[in-house]
Amino acid sequence: MLAPAMVVLQNLVVAPDFSRHFMLYWHPMDALQSQVLDKVKKLLALAKSPSEAEAAAALAKASVLLAKYGLSMAEVQQEEDVQEAVLLEKKRLRVWESFLVSVVCKATFTEALHYRTQSVGRILLIGREVNIVTARELFTYLHRLVLILGRAHSPSIAHVDSFRQGLVQRIGERLAEQYREGQGTEQRTDKDQQKDAESASGAGTTALVMQADAAAQVENHEFIKQKYGRTTTRKTGRRVEADSYHRGRAVGDTVNLDRQIEG
């Protein structure tokens, strides 16, 4: 019998064999945590019909919201423990699904651990409680969106998967570019439209997200190391139908990442 395996696909980590059940011990969420999560849920609930613009904007804005929450909490009380929870019960992920897990993890300051045996496959999320809950909300929302957009593209499985791969990859790239360039996703007042104000706000948002991301990586990796020991990272990729892949990227390019959404 083959031993279970743990792997990392970009942000997706794969772990060695451990004969244990994965359980998440949830602590009651305090008022601030609940407020943060409520804002994220309201953000996602605004999408009454599939819209790539709303999906990407929700993903980007959630990153900023969680960054502010995580850093402010560290200042006033002991940081909540890093935890784990099941995102998916699935032995094999399609390439575009692996990309989507990575995009969501990056946006929510979490890590994904892939646990597999001959009969079971689980994608585990590692991170703080509010980040894990938000990651699950975002993944569920975006996964459904990408499925629907793919079906509308083509009846061919190969072309659909290629389209979805291009779409997810391009949205992830643009979100990363946005933070590096300091554009952020905060709502702006009329005065904020001024060049200097926009520049200052964008730089502040970028620094905030980068700081939160660095802190999350340290604590999440430490949790994985302490609990699972050695893990491996596996990069995923496969041949794509070029035309469909680039059509997916083109759709990703049209996503309005600066769209204002009331929280």
- Residues 6 or more apart whose CB falls under 8 angstroms from that of 18 comprise 4, 228
Distance in angstroms (rounded) separating the CA atoms of residues 263 and 260:
9
- Contact criterion met (CB below 8 Å) for 251 and 154: no
What does the block give as tokens for 138?
């975002």
Q: Which residues pair with 126 in a beta bridge?
A: 84, 111
Average pLDDT over residues 58-81: 61
Q: CA 67, 122, 97, 133 torsion: positive or negative?
A: negative
Identify the CA nearest to 177 among candidates 135, 209, 139.
Answer: 209
Q: Taking 80 as the threshold, does the pLDDT of residue 121 lie above it?
A: yes
DSSP 3-state of 91 = coil
Cβ-in-10-Å burial (0-12, 13-18, 19+) of 260 comes to exposed
- Contact criterion met (CB below 8 Å) for 160 and 134: no
Angle between helices 157-180 and 95-108 (to 10 degrees): 20
Q: Which amino acid is at 76?
A: V
pLDDT for 18 equals 32
- Residues 6 or more apart whose CB falls under 8 angstroms from that of 184 comprise 64, 178, 201, 202, 204, 205, 206
Higher-confidence position of 255 and 144: 144
What does the longest C-alpha to C-alpha distance in the chain come to? 65
Q: Taking 60 as the threshold, does the pLDDT of residue 74 lie above it?
A: no
pTM for the whole thing? 0.67
Percent of the chain scored above 90 by pLDDT?
13
Distance in angstroms (rounded) separating the CA atoms of residues 224 and 111:
9
Distance in angstroms (rounded) separating the CA atoms of residues 180 and 141:
25
Q: How confident is the model at residue 255 (pLDDT cuts 50, 70, 90)?
A: low
Q: Taking 50 as the threshold, does the pLDDT of residue 22 lie above it?
A: no
Q: How confident is the model at residue 246 (pLDDT cuts 50, 70, 90)?
A: very high
